[in-house]
Amino acid sequence: MTRTFSRIVETVADFFLIFIIVFGIYIITHGHLTPGGGFQGGVVLAAGILLLLVAHGFSFARKIPEELLSDLEAIGGIAFILLASLGFGQSFFYNILWHEKLAFAEQVGRFFSGGAIPLMNLSVGLKVVAGITSGMFALSLFGGEES
Amino acid sequence: MSHLPICGIVVYLTAAFLTPLLYKAHRRVAEGVFLASTLSNPVLQTLLILELSSNSWKPIVYTLGAAGPYEWTYPIRIVLEVDALSAFMALIVTSISAAVALFSIGYMEEDGLQKYYTLFLLLDAGMLGMVLTGDLFNLYVFLEITSISSYALVAFRKHQWEAVEAGMKYMIMGSLASTIILVSIALLYGEYGTLTMAQLGWQYRHHPTGMARVALAGLLAGFLMKGGIVPVHMWLADAHPAAPSTISALLSGLVIKVGIYSAARIAYSVFWMGTDVRLLGWLVVVVGAASIIVGNLLAGFQRDIKRLLAYSSIGQVGYVVTGLGIALIPGVNPEASRAALDGALFHLLNHAVLKAMLFLSVGAIVHSLGTRDIGYMGGIAKRMPLTSAVVLLGAMGIIGAPPLNGFVSKWMLYEATAIFNPIIGAIAVLGTAFSTVAYGRLFYALLGRESRLVADRSPRDPGLWMSVPMIFLAAASVLFGILPRIPVVGLVRPARAALLSPGSYTSWLKVAGGILSSPNLPPAGQPISVFGSWVPAVFLLVFAISIAFFLLIRNLSASGVRTVGEGVKAFLSGEDERDFEALQLPGTSVVWGFAEAVKSLVNALKREHSGDLTVYLFWLIFLYAVLILLWGGA
Amino acid sequence: MISVAAQMVIQGIVLAGIFLTALYALLQKDLLASALMLAAMSLLMSLEFYLLQAPDVAIAEAAVGAGVSTLVLVLGIRKTGRWEE
Amino acid sequence: MMVYLTAFALIMLGIAGMLFRRNLLKIIMALSVADSGAYLLLIAIGYRSGGTAPILTGYEGGPMVDPLPQALVLTAIVIGVCVLIMAVSLVVNVYRHYGTLDVSELRRLRG
């Protein structure tokens, strides 16, 4: 049960991992322009990391410290709330960066548009990657039978 | 625009994400943030109430992400809508969780896991969001935040089989209920194209459709499950004892109340104005009355003290739901209708205070003894005088003993139910009788002879961190009992008025016609006195029915005598008492005779609580189907 | 732009596929096979979401349903037992 | 119409699966089938015949499908995956304590 897969599987997984990660990052960063956003990209990235987990065996999960993941998750959450709080001059979640032309305020359709939304997508993506990965790692390490 | 409505939620969420980061730096810092956020929140909600009352309780509408809710011609933004009822609930949620948070600093010392603070704060944020929100989308999101963190907290002690089993059942039942709620929200959206509750109420008033009624059936079934009402209460008795005691206090004190609140908000503010809700109101009254009987009765037959409290929660929430159901029925004596609603809301507040206090103090006892069996708690009152005093005070409050707050709200409910229907009134009285038996055993046990376990462990009263919240809650209970006018006039009446005037809930909408008036609204009358009205004939009838019940039980009771054995441990000291071998109990003795009398009923009920998840799920689907058939199809 | 009739046919096939995979997944005694069937259902579901003009949801459903939740279920099956008795 | 029928069929199928299957993992799978039915129902409700996806970039006029149900479904998917991960980790715990996944064996708490 604890045998990892063959060398071929590992290599193929490593190869595809690059594409999965690029695709995930694309989905997150273009969230305000194209379908997708923080959550979708985050799940895709998490799925990539989990592919590593499957291909390289579950002991791989031990190499990534649990604390790092929970820190990243917390940072993602705080960043999201801070960005939402920026709008307190008007109302919570008010997109002040865009309405006041402070940052990311180019014309709709350009990459640097959308105000706080791309930043929010980033923080949500961070939170989702860290959350799902840590949940899965906890699950896969559970019971300590693979060692 | 005032930002008070959102502030509480933001404070909780920020603290929830900060604590795991700070925990690594220093544990005390994380605890400080945890305490600061939970203790500051009641202040924020008090300010919110002051702002509301200074504006003659006109609902505050707060729009997320824009200056106003209107994008086109109808409200499209996500809104928070705070009226007197929401603010009342928000104050309860934040104050009780502040007390519990203070207690858990001392209590969770050993478990001390950083996840606990995050989950606790997320649970608070979810509940606060549920009571403050003004649209169904948000309600669903916050409901799920609440539910998921409570599943996680029930299963917090994963190394115990009990927590795992209870968490599993709770989670699967709760998820099915959430799915039913989601489907109902989808149906409502498909019907009316909006999820803002005020807008939905307006639409339903003008175009009531069958599909919307089906949706209401689903929403009610789901939220009644979250509120632990018979027949979908089975998870509660498993889940609440399995959690750590602080979490039990939150779950029993607040989470189920928030479920009831959501059901009431949807039934009253959205659907009440549209159609005749007589049948629905009766259905709610019947499930409430069933909860009163089942919960309080089964509480008397538990050896596990936390399970006793959990069953008693079902019974007490039954009172709240009965009161809410009575006011839902049009054509009831308006005095009774108002008294029922006052009583229900005040009992909601009182039960939150009392159950939090009971779970915290019982938690301290369980913590120091290492067992939850009442039989081993004999004579602990001498060793832990403060804690035991709080337990017994809470027990008296729940029974409804006169100087305490439970008495006032129960009295209002007795009167309302008696005027409404004498049989329901007698059931309300009977429920109190059952709960007296249940909590009476605590008096025997705690004040009785010292058991060997207590002598061995020699427990002591907990430290300052844990004593202060207990004393605070006990003081609140006594204060509300002696001076019920303060909470009733200050908080409960405005909340009741808000619930009974759905027109004001929708009044901010830019629609023709202004404020709606409901066909179901009872005509305005003289404000009812705190203790209601006195109608001798009705009360005589209720008295007669109660006596008939009593005689029935009395006649069923065993006529023989019984030698003391295993079964009375709980009332003596918990050990097999050699000295008491000769003691004999006659069949008329309160506790044993009563137990014999209702044994067949209790055994039938216990068979129904078989622990089989499939049966529990079946009951949820059954309730849903009954609601749809009786009300959706009509 | 595909014609309306063609779209109806495609949708019919996809929806029938969704239903059949779900049915098969729930009737199957082999838990691993059911987990994989659920993944297939999720993929078809995301295709259906795409046809219904919900690309956001389609991406999320594909990543979650076919990726993460299948893996979670497979992990759970590995830790417990493969066969439903 | 077909979509609505499929959605309701999936919900019914999921509920039936939860009621008649005895294996906990199977019950969780049935729950996710019922959830999928709810998602499909919501998306179908938001669909406007001939509408385009609700994305501003490259928008050329014409009807758009309703974005709100899609947002609701996304939220529900997030919630669903959280519940799934937690449920499976609880199932693993159940297996450790009870040695079985049969719900009729999971009956120590009762009465």
Has residue B573 got a pLDDT over 50? Answer: no
Report how far residue B193's alpha carbon sits from residue B228's, in angstroms, rounded to the nearest whole number: 31
Rg value, chain A, Cα: 18
Domain assignment of residue B295, yes or no: yes
Domain assignment of residue B111, yes or no: yes
Q: Are B593 and B587 in contact (CB under 8 A)?
A: yes
pLDDT at B565: 53
The Cα of D87 is separated from the nearest Cα of chain A by a number of Å equal to 11
User: For A120-145, how does the pLDDT look when each residue is reduced to its tens digit (9 = 90+)?
Assistant: 888 888 888 888 887 777 776 654 33
Rg value, chain D, Cα: 19
pLDDT at B405: 86
Q: Of B313, B288, B319, which Cα lies nearest the Cα of B299?
A: B313
Nearest 10 degrees: Cα torsion C18, C20, C23, C24: -110
In chain A, domain spans: 7-144
Instruction: Give chain D's domains with CATH numbers.
Output: 2-105 (1.10.287.3510)
Report how far residue B25's alpha carbon sits from residue C51's, in angstroms, rounded to the nearest whole number: 50
Asked whether residue B454 falls in the same domain as residue B578, the answer is: no
Q: Of B232, B262, B236, B271, which Cα lies nearest the Cα of B623?
A: B232
Residue of A nearest to D58 (CA): A109
State which H helix or E strand residue B449 sits in. none
**Measured between CB atoms, does C63 come within 8 Å of chain D?**
no
SS3 for D23-73, per residue? EHHHHHHHHHHHHHHHHHHHHHHHCCCCCECCCCCCCCCCCECCHHHHHHH
Tokens of B104: 């858990």
Domain assignment of residue C44, yes or no: yes
SS3 for B161-212, per residue? HHHHHHHHHHHHHHHHHHHHHHHHHHHHHHHHCCCEHHHHHHHHHHCCCHHH
Domain assignment of residue B263, yes or no: yes
**Measured between CB atoms, does A35 come within 8 Å of chain D?**
yes
| Residues B552-573, mean pLDDT to the nearest whole number | 56
**Measured between CB atoms, does A139 come within 8 Å of chain D?**
yes
User: For B168-213, how does the pLDDT look when each residue is reduced to its tens digit (9 = 90+)?
Assistant: 989 999 999 999 999 999 998 888 888 888 888 888 887 788 888 8
Report how far residue B182's alpha carbon sits from residue A47's, in angstroms, rounded to the nearest whole number: 27
Domain assignment of residue B532, yes or no: no
Asked whether residue B498 falls in the same domain as residue B570, the answer is: no
User: For C2-54, how does the pLDDT look when each residue is reduced to its tens digit (9 = 90+)?
Assistant: 677 888 888 889 899 999 999 998 888 888 889 899 999 999 998 988 888 88
How far is C-alpha D110 from the geometric centre of its chain's CA atoms? 29
Residue of D nearest to A140 (CA): D89
Nearest 10 degrees: Cα torsion B98, B81, B258, B89: 50
Asked whether residue B120 falls in the same domain as residue B233, the answer is: yes
Asked whether residue B405 falls in the same domain as residue B297, the answer is: yes
Q: Which residue has the higher pLDDT, B511 or B594?
A: B594
User: Residues with Cβ < 8 Å from C62, sequence gap 6 or more?
Assistant: C42, C43, C46
Asked whether residue B262 falls in the same domain as residue B343, the answer is: yes
Chains interfacing with D (3 or more CB pairs < 8 Å): A, B, C
Chains interfacing with A (3 or more CB pairs < 8 Å): B, C, D
Q: What amino acid occupies position B597? A: A
Report how far residue B234's alpha carbon sits from residue B252's, in angstroms, rounded to the nearest whole number: 14
Chains interfacing with C (3 or more CB pairs < 8 Å): A, D
Domain assignment of residue C84, yes or no: no
State which H helix or E strand residue B421 sits in. none
CB pair distance less than 8 Å for A27 and C59: yes
CB pair distance less than 8 Å for C61 and D77: yes
Structure ipTM: 0.89
Domain assignment of residue C46, yes or no: yes
Tell me the sheet residues that pair with B586: B561
Per-residue confidence in pLDDT tens, chain A, 147 aa: 445 556 777 777 777 788 888 888 888 877 777 666 778 888 888 888 877 777 776 666 677 777 787 788 888 888 888 887 777 767 777 776 666 666 666 666 666 666 677 778 888 888 888 888 877 777 766 543 332
Q: Of D99, D81, D84, D105, which Cα lies nearest the Cα of D25?
A: D84
Asked whether residue B487 falls in the same domain as residue B580, the answer is: no
Question: Could you give the 3-state DSSP secondary structure of residue B563?
Answer: strand
The alpha helices in B27-113, defined as continuous H runs, are 27-54, 84-107
CB pair distance less than 8 Å for B182 and D76: yes
Asked whether residue B427 falls in the same domain as residue B347, the answer is: yes
User: Which residue do the tokens 């006041």 mark?
Assistant: A100
- A86: which DSSP letter? G
Q: How many domains does chain C have?
A: 1
Tokens of A115: 């105000």
Mean per-residue pLDDT over chain B, rounded: 81
Residue of D nearest to A139 (CA): D89
Q: How confident is the model at residue B511 (pLDDT cuts 50, 70, 90)?
A: low
The Cα of C35 is separated from the nearest Cα of chain A by a number of Å equal to 16
Domain assignment of residue B524, yes or no: no
pLDDT at B626: 87
Q: Are B103 and B9 in contact (CB under 8 A)?
A: no
Q: Most B CBs within 10 Å: which of A72, A83, A92, as the mutation test of the B interface?
A: A92
Between helix B197-206 and helix B136-154 the angle, nearest 10°, is: 120
Task: Show the domain range for B421.
Answer: 4-508
Tell how strand B561-563 and strand B79-82 pair up.
unpaired
Q: How many domains does chain B have?
A: 2
CB pair distance less than 8 Å for A74 and B17: yes
Chains D and A touch (3+ CB pairs under 8 A): yes
Domain assignment of residue C85, yes or no: no
Chain A residues 109-138 with CB within 8 Å of chain D: 109, 128, 132, 135-136, 138
Task: Show the domain range for C67.
Answer: 4-79
CB pair distance less than 8 Å for C53 and D26: no
pLDDT at B526: 45
Tokens of A86: 């920026």
Tokens of B418: 């008696």
**Measured between CB atoms, does D106 come within 8 Å of chain C?**
no
Domain assignment of residue B629, yes or no: no
CB pair distance less than 8 Å for D109 and B162: yes
